[in-house]
Structure 1
Amino acid sequence: MSNVVFNRASLSTTDLPSYQGISIADVSLIDSECLAREALDALMAAEVIGFDTESKPTFLKGEESTGPHLVQLATESRAYLFPISGLHVTNALKIILESPRVLKVGMGLGNDRSALKSRLDISLTNVLDLGEVLRGSGHRGTVGAKVAVAHFFGQKFNKSKKTGTSNWANHQLSERQQLYAANDAHVALVLYRAWARSVRSH
């Protein structure tokens, strides 16, 4: 797939300018059937979308995650956040995530496939884990968004650990949570476009 092999140690992001990402004005929190229909139309019209999930963290030994609690999907211009709390959300998500036509691109998707199947009976179809593609064959682990943004754009992708480990099952998500989640999905799509251009140019 790709001959890009990332040397994580050589990609220090300390002095890089910040990656700006998507703005809150371009983030839609899907909390009604009407918004779910709008999101469904926009996402199904795209050939490729960014994809990620968030789950409420577990802190106790042996505690099993009940996530995902939020699914994020993004087009070039907009990010859609789907809290897993209503039937309208699940129906729209099932159509999008099971579509063989729309490519879903994420970074470090891990157990998202099994979690979506077990919790929501959604069979994730036509998905690309860009973190694994960028890793290259014969290498362990996965390439994260921070390293990929530094490599492709020469910028620093800021991720707050406090926000990342916040309660994603909250009924009301803060603006900080919404931006964090939206950018996780949106940056995957932006990186996919950059990777695809680099592959075509070689």
Structure 2
Amino acid sequence: MQATLPTPSKEQIALLPEFDRLGLGQITLVVSAAQAREASAALLDHAHWGFDTESKPTFFKDQVSDGPHIVQLATLERAWVFQLQDLACRAIVADLLAHDQHTKAGFGLGDDTKRIQSKLQVEPAAVLELNAVFRERGYRKDMGVKAAVAVLFQRRFIKSKKAATSNWANPNLTEAQLIYAANDAYAAARVHLALQP
């Protein structure tokens, strides 16, 4: 039986230098069909995408989320944050997620995938759960983006708790929300590339 490889502790990660994140100039907020078509054309030039979603948090027992409210897709150079209020924009996102020639890599995607099926009526294709790749390599059950970035790059991935629990259904996303969302997908793209043989 394969030995379990150690993952860095929070304290060890805190000592690492910061991971280089995308700035606002490398992040595109997509709210309309026209913007979604542009984003789609840019993304289809790349075989692998970092992938994540965000949903407005639920605060009560039995409260059902109507998320995802945004879908993030990233290459190694930029990220697109798609808001899903516009039905035509939503349809283009569904088409992108259904592409089976483009790998969509991310962490903890089980819940995201279920919500996408419910909201967009599409089964995301070619989805790669990065936690599963780490498990195959002997790491503990769930790495998560912070531990993965620490292991592969010896860097500390910053995640704002305030942004994480913010209202993702808000039509006017803040700069902090855009940076948070885009970099979750971007980090997944970087991790996926680093795991390639």
Cα distance, 1:122 vs structure 2: 1.4
Aligned-partner residue type, residue 58 of structure 2 = T
Q: For residues 30-73 of structure 1, give each alpha carbon's deviation from its aligned partner in whole angstroms, at most 9, with x where no partner exists.
A: 01222111101011121111100000001111111111111000
* Equivalences for residues 111-190 of structure 1 within 5 A: 111-136=111-136, 141-190=141-190
Q: For residues 56-93 of structure 1, give each alpha carbon's deviation from its aligned partner in whole angstroms, at most 9, with x where no partner exists.
A: 00111111111111100011211001111012211211
Structure 1 counterpart of 2:16: 16
CA 30–14 in structure 1, closer or farther in 2 if over 3 Å, else same: same
Cα distance, 1:136 vs structure 2: 3.0
Structure 1 counterpart of 2:107: 107
Counterpart contact for 2:7–2:139, Cα < 8 Å: no
For structure 1, the 5+ residue unaligned runs are none
Aligned-residue Cα RMSD (Å) equals 1.9
Cα distance, 1:8 vs structure 2: 2.4
Counterpart contact for 2:31–2:84, Cα < 8 Å: no
Structure 2 counterpart of 1:26: 26
**In 1, Cα distance between the equivalents of 2:122 and 2:4?**
32
Counterpart contact for 2:4–2:138, Cα < 8 Å: no
Cα distance, 1:135 vs structure 2: 2.4
Q: For residues 6-33 of structure 1, give each alpha carbon's deviation from its aligned partner in whole angstroms, at most 9, with x where no partner exists.
A: 4225572121101121111010000122
Structure 2 counterpart of 1:89: 89
**In 1, Cα distance between the equivalents of 2:4 and 2:176?**
33
Counterpart contact for 2:152–2:191, Cα < 8 Å: yes
Q: For residues 153-198 of structure 1, give each alpha carbon's deviation from its aligned partner in whole angstroms, at most 9, with x where no partner exists.
A: 11100111111000000010000000000000010000011111xx
Cα distance, 1:119 vs structure 2: 1.2
Counterpart contact for 2:6–2:139, Cα < 8 Å: no
Aligned residues: 195
CA 38–89 in structure 1, closer or farther in 2 if over 3 Å, else same: same
Counterpart contact for 2:16–2:154, Cα < 8 Å: yes
**In 2, Cα distance between the equivalents of 1:113 and 1:164?**
18
